[in-house]
Amino acid sequence: MRLDLTGRTALVTGSTQGIGAAIAAGLARSGARVAVNGRGAESVGRAVEALRAEVEGADVVSAPADVATENGARQLLETLPRVDILVNNLGIFGATPALEITDDQWRRYFEVNVLAAVRLTRQYLPAMVARGWGRIQYIASDSAVVIPAEMIHYGVSKTALLGVSRGFAKEAAGTGVTVNSVIAGPTHTGGVEEFVYQLVDRDLPWERAQREFMRLHRPQSLLQRLIEPEEIANMVVYLGSDQASATTGAAVRVDGGYVDSIVP
């Protein structure tokens, strides 16, 4: 299967590192013009340089903006008036005891993890519909279904994204625009290795350490290892292609079997 995104412009929010950076690289390899987004011009500039070094001939646009704000979304529209593939990847997370999560923290999580994606969807969906082609994706999490007791505000914000995705898919019904969410499982991103070694023997080589971590602390995973960001990116690239034209309104799992459910 050849996924050719030549001629398409993709925007990946929060793409200076981690899963977002891997998604940007995957889209660039498939020929898309990719806009790298983050809050600061310096971090975006470094990510753009890294992407160009990683993907020969990559067509990359620097698109710094704080999309968790209305002004930031408007700024992004001025920089990037046309988007064919919108990947709402931006998200924050952190552990807080359930009864200690403040109103301000709840609001912050919904502003960043939910409303930023809603705002950009409202901004770019109408033009996609007018052109008769578009792809919108929301990067959700296994935490949307398996709410983590240590960060229920994060989990609930990702649950909301599943509803947002399904709702906008109905809004775009029959237009040639597809809207989906991607449920990502436990993923090997920056900082995760240190977290793993806090919980398992530091003398273990990484491959054994992560498997021990999964066995002891994430036993419901059927993959029994952390997911690599590129594996999440592979699904996003597919969903952004012509080949995924019949997949819409879906919550597609790249969770390594973490969610104990037969129906996706």
Token match 């988007």: residue? 83
Domain count, the chain: 2
Q: Which amino acid is at 5?
A: L
Whether 1 is covered by a domain: the verdict is no
Instruction: Write the burial class of residue 203 (CB in 10 Å: 0-12 exposed, 13-18 middle, 19+ buried).
Output: exposed
In this structure, the answer to whether residues 142 and 211 fall within a common structural domain is no
Share of the chain above pLDDT 90, in %: 91
In this structure, the answer to whether residues 195 and 240 fall within a common structural domain is no
In this structure, the answer to whether residues 217 and 177 fall within a common structural domain is no
C-alpha torsion sign, points 188, 193, 109, 78: negative
pLDDT in tens, 78-107: 999 999 999 999 999 988 999 999 999 999
Whether 253 is covered by a domain: the verdict is no
In the annotation, is 154 catalytic? yes
More confident residue, 194 or 156: 156
For 9, list phi and psi in degrees, rounded to 5.
-105, 125
What residues make up the domain containing 212? 191-226
In this structure, the answer to whether residues 239 and 196 fall within a common structural domain is no
Whether 3 is covered by a domain: the verdict is no
Q: Which amino acid is at 176?
A: G
In this structure, the answer to whether residues 43 and 90 fall within a common structural domain is yes
* pTM summary value: 0.95
Q: Record the tokens describing residue 149, joined without a space.
A: 């007791």
By C-alpha distance, which of 119, 140, 26 is closest to 76?
Answer: 119
Whether 258 is covered by a domain: the verdict is no
In this structure, the answer to whether residues 69 and 91 fall within a common structural domain is yes
pLDDT of residue 12: 98
In this structure, the answer to whether residues 131 and 148 fall within a common structural domain is yes
Whether 58 is covered by a domain: the verdict is yes
In this structure, the answer to whether residues 126 and 196 fall within a common structural domain is no
Identify the band that residue 1 occupies on the pLDDT scale cut at 50, 70 and 90: confident
Whether 158 is covered by a domain: the verdict is yes
In this structure, the answer to whether residues 50 and 152 fall within a common structural domain is yes
In this structure, the answer to whether residues 105 and 53 fall within a common structural domain is yes
pLDDT in tens, 8-66: 999 999 999 999 999 999 999 999 999 999 999 999 999 999 999 999 999 999 999 99
Whether 263 is covered by a domain: the verdict is no
pLDDT in tens, 167-195: 999 999 999 999 999 999 999 988 788 88
Whether 77 is covered by a domain: the verdict is yes
pLDDT of residue 200: 92
Catalytic-labelled residue, pool 124, 138, 154, 258:
154
Task: Share the mean pLDDT of the chain.
Answer: 96
Is residue 264 scored above 80 in pLDDT?
A: no
User: How large is the C-alpha radius of gyration of the chain?
Assistant: 18
User: CA 120, CA 76: separation in Å to the nearest integer?
Assistant: 9
In this structure, the answer to whether residues 157 and 177 fall within a common structural domain is yes
pLDDT of residue 233: 98
pLDDT of residue 128: 98
In this structure, the answer to whether residues 101 and 221 fall within a common structural domain is no
Tell me, what CATH number does 29's domain have? 3.40.50.720
More confident residue, 118 or 192: 118
